[in-house]
């Protein structure tokens, strides 16, 4: 995604999809309506008391749409672009649940809805006829997830709805909740925001009704997605409340126990909340406030993931991009060079895009030679990494450089 400035600029804030959840394994671009910027500006300035009464409970318990297959209702989705940004958090991929692999470090122990539910679903060992039905359900869910991974969204939707029917027929409530979560994210990917909102609320209701605490990481995760849905729908006041709820909830855990006593996922979920809120603020042109939140997310990622991690590299790139938008080019170059170093260490496929961003900064400074060098390097690395988007960005950058040079020669 490109953020334009007064002169032709090709900055994008990267959405690196490295999370195990397949519905978030794509590049995403959040598009917020600038026409409503004034509404959001007032919402950002105000203090919103975040409590269970004005966010979690209010948005979880609502008038539900009937998803029981007894009604024979069909669900059709249009094919749309994805719209989100994700992190690597915990053992959320299907492979980790089926391979029995262990995680090292401070304890990545299944914080999220997906990991907790999938673990219980895929590790179940019923007997006889129940075992057969349970195995069929698991196979159907896996097929739906594989379809999501391959980008076959319509097929994925059909498979997941078949799985949902099977789960309802066998009264497997954990599987029902898990599939609702997958369907909510599928709707979110396709920018079917009203449908995604309803489904995320259904998931929240089921979690809370089942006795899950309001500050549980799974609840925070769904609340973060719901806040992003509100932002996409243009309901900025609810979006701000949601983002602040997620940040405040995780901060309370950190302040109470200290980072050393917490698992990595709790810490990274706080960082991800800061990151998502920063992107929301960035789209409202709240550059300095966005930068502050990006910096906090980066610092946590560096402590938990390490400096040479792909997510840390992305955040360094994003901070550099914000600095450029603020016309602080010296600082922008500093952060982008750090991003390139981190990306090289992490062997990130996004390194070519980071070079393009650096080239754009040089172009803004009128340093055409440096700009061309960086964009060429970005093109070479993107092709090497089979990053088609990065290669396209580099070609656009090089074309823009030549255009600027010709215009200056005419003067």
- Residue 200, both tokens: 């995320």
Residues 212-268: tens digit of each pLDDT: 999 999 999 999 999 999 999 999 999 999 999 999 999 999 999 999 999 999 999
Q: How crowded is the C-beta side of 79, counted as CA atoms within 13 Å?
A: 7
Number of domains the chain contains: 1
- Provide CB contacts within 8 A for 42, sequence distance 6+: none
- Residue 408, both tokens: 């200056």
The overall average pLDDT reported for the chain is 76
Length of the chain in residues, anyone? 411
- Residue 38, both tokens: 């004034």
CA 302 to chain centroid, in Å, comes to: 18
Could you tell me the pLDDT band of residue 410, with boundaries at 50, 70 and 90? confident
- Residue 48, both tokens: 């919103």
In a domain, 62, yes or no: yes
In a domain, 395, yes or no: no
In a domain, 344, yes or no: no
CA 379 to chain centroid, in Å, comes to: 26
In a domain, 410, yes or no: no
Per-residue pLDDT, 12: 42
Neighbours of 360 (CB within 10 A): 30
CATH code for the domain in which residue 90 is found: 1.25.40.10
In a domain, 195, yes or no: yes
Give the domain extent around 90.
48-262
Residues 58-95: tens digit of each pLDDT: 555 443 333 333 332 222 222 222 233 556 554 332 22
Residues 3-14: tens digit of each pLDDT: 223 233 334 443
In a domain, 290, yes or no: no
In a domain, 38, yes or no: no
Cα distance between residue 381 and residue 231, in whole Å: 34
Residues 280-290: tens digit of each pLDDT: 999 999 999 99
Cα distance between residue 167 and residue 174, in whole Å: 9
CA 214 vs CA 50, 117, 125, 149, 211: distances in Å: 12, 17, 30, 31, 9
In a domain, 334, yes or no: no
Exposed / middle / buried, residue 136 (Cβ in 10 Å: 0-12, 13-18, 19+) = middle
- State the pTM of this model: 0.74
Residues 113-136: tens digit of each pLDDT: 454 455 454 545 555 556 666 788
| Residue 328 Rama label (left phi>0; alpha psi -120 to 50; beta) | beta
Cα distance between residue 170 and residue 172, in whole Å: 5
Per-residue pLDDT, 4: 27
């Amino acid at each position: 995604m490109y953020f334009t400035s007064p002169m032709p600029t090709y900055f994008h804030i990267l959405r690196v999809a490295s999370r195990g959840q397949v519905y978030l394994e794509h590049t995403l671009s959040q598009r917020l309506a600038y026409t409503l910027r004034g509404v959001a500006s007032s919402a950002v300035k105000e203090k919103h008391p975040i409590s269970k009464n004005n966010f979690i409970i209010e948005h979880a318990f609502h008038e539900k749409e009937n998803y029981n297959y007894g009604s024979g209702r069909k669900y059709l989705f249009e094919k749309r672009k994805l719209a989100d940004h994700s992190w690597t958090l915990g053992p959320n991929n299907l492979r980790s649940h089926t391979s029995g692999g262990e995680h090292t470090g401070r304890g990545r122990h299944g914080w999220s809805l997906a990991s907790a539910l999938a673990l219980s679903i895929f590790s179940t060992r019923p007997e006889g006829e129940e075992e057969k039905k349970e195995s069929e359900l698991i196979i159907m869910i896996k097929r739906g997830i594989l379809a999501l991974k391959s980008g076959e969204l319509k097929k994925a939707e059909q498979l997941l709805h078949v799985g949902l029917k099977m789960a309802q027929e066998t009264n497997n409530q954990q599987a029902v909740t898990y599939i609702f979560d997958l369907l909510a994210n599928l709707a979110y990917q396709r920018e079917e925001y009203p449908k995604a909102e309803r489904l995320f609320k259904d998931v929240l209701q089921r979690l809370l009704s089942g006795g899950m605490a309001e500050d549980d990481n799974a609840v925070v995760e769904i609340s973060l997605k719901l806040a992003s849905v509100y932002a996409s729908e243009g309901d900025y006041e609810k979006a701000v409340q949601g983002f602040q709820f997620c940040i405040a909830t995780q901060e309370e855990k950190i302040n109470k126990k200290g980072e050393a006593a917490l698992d990595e996922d709790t810490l990274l979920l706080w960082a991800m909340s800061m990151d998502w809120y920063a992107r929301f603020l960035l789209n409202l042109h709240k550059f300095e406030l966005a930068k502050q939140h990006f910096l906090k997310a980066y610092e946590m990622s560096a402590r938990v993931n390490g400096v040479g991690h792909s997510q840390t590299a992305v955040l360094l790139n994003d901070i550099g991009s914000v600095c450029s938008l603020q016309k602080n080019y010296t600082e922008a170059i500093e952060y982008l060079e750090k991003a390139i170093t981190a990306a090289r260490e992490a062997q990130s496929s996004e390194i070519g895009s980071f070079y393009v961003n650096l080239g754009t900064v040089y172009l803004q400074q009128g340093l055409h030679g440096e700009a061309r060098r960086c964009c060429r390097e970005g093109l070479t690395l993107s092709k090497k990494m089979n990053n088609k988007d990065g290669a396209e960005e580099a070609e656009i950058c090089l074309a823009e450089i030549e255009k600027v040079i010709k215009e200056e020669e005419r003067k």
